[in-house]
């Protein structure tokens, strides 16, 4: 079955010129799609439209066969997890940052999910454990760590579809591997639409959608797209 369907989608930010033109592609349920293309191509905007942070100007965008405009907000929120490139860390404890959206999670599950994204050390290296302060006034997290914390949060809420905007800043080899493992963890039994900045993400994808100037210029697997003609 098709999870996400862009059907000749056009879009322009309020008061601005069109930034997406006739975008058509589908994401099969349970698969990973990587969005690639130059900066400004429209990749992040595509994620924002699925979330209905903005609404399409023309064409339609369907989630499990239903136009997102016809889905109530709470239904959308339950079905989608969105991890932005600069995932925010809220002022507060590690526990508080994780429990948003999944308040009844057991301590064991919290620690398990932190291990899944390779952040288990955060709860282990201080006497406060899960109640350690993170962000301002506490343990500062790198961009990569903040994103993994956001992925852990999304894992707890358990949405079937995850939209992920990968960080662009240079990750060291260890952070890169940790991010990759975190993505592998969320990919199990889920549908992923990822703005890919990392080659590993592109290679691992079931489908690559190449966007340029607001248009889809190619779709296919890594092997299909790298055939030299």
Residues forming beta bridges with residue 11, ordered by sequence position? 20
In the set 2, 8, 40, 124, which binds ligand ADP (CB under 6 A)?
40
Judged by beta carbon, residue 31 or residue 44, the one nearer ligand ADP is 44
CA 138 distance to own-chain centroid: 26
**51 is a catalytic site residue:** no
Give the contacts of 224 (CB within 8 A, at least 6 positions apart): none
Nearer to ligand ADP, 29 or 133 (CB): 133
Tell me which H or E stretch contains 135.
none
19: contact with ligand ADP by CB under 6 A: yes
Q: Cα separation of 79 and 174, whole Å?
A: 31
Give the angle 179-171-87 at the CA atoms, nearest 5°: 60
Active-site residue identified among 5, 84, 116, 166 = 166
**Residues of span 170-199 touching ligand ADP by CB under 6 A:** 170-171, 175
| Closest residue to ligand ADP using C-beta atoms | 143
Of the candidate spans 34-42, 109-117, 197-205, 219-227, the one that interacts with ligand ADP by CB under 6 A turns out to be: 34-42
Q: Are 149 and 125 in contact (CB under 8 A)?
A: no
Beta bridge partners of 209: 35, 219
φ and ψ of 77, to 5 deg: -65, -35
Query: Cα separation of 28 and 33, whole Å?
Result: 9
Tell me how many residues contact ligand ADP (CB under 6 A). Answer: 24
Identify the burial level of 81 via C-beta atoms within 10 angstroms of its C-beta, where 0-12 means exposed, 13-18 middle and 19 or more buried: buried
Task: Single out the residue of 141, 151, 164, 194 in contact with ligand ADP (rule: CB under 6 A).
Answer: 141
**DSSP state at residue 139:** B
Shorter beta-carbon distance to ligand ADP: residue 81 or 144: 144
Which range touches ligand ADP (CB under 6 A), out of 22-30, 72-80, 168-176, 182-190?
168-176
User: Taking CB under 6 A as the criterion, which residues in 106-135 touch ligand ADP?
Assistant: 135
Q: Is 142 in the site for ligand ADP (CB under 6 A)?
A: yes
- Residues forming the site for ligand ADP (CB under 6 A): 13, 16, 19, 37, 39-45, 89, 135-136, 140-144, 167, 169-171, 175
- The set of catalytic residues is 166
């Amino acid at each position: 079955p098709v999870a996400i369907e862009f059907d000749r989608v056009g879009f322009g930010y309020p008061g601005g010129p069109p930034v997406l033109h006739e975008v058509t592609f589908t994401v099969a349920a349970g698969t990973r799609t990587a969005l690639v293309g130059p900066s400004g191509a429209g990749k992040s905007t595509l994620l924002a439209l699925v979330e209905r942070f903005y609404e399409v100007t023309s064409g339609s965008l369907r989630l499990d066969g239903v136009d997102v405009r016809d889905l109530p907000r709470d239904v959308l929120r339950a079905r989608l997890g969105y991890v932005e490139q600069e995932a925010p860390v809220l002022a507060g404890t590690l526990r508080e940052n994780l429990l948003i959206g999944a308040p009844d999670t057991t301590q064991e599950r919290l620690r398990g999910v932190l291990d899944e994204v390779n952040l288990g050390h955060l709860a282990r290296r201080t006497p406060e454990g899960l109640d350690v302060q993170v962000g301002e006034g506490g343990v500062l997290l790198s961009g990569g760590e903040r994103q993994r914390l956001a992925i852990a949060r999304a894992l707890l809420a358990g949405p079937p579809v995850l939209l992920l905007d990968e960080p662009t800043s240079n990750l060291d080899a260890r952070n890169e591997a940790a991010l990759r493992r975190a993505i592998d963890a969320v990919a199990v039994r889920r549908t992923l639409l990822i703005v890919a900045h990392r080659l590993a993400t592109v290679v691992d994808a079931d489908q690559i959608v190449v966007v340029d100037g607001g248009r889809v210029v190619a779709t296919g697997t890594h092997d299909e797209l790298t055939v030299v003609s």
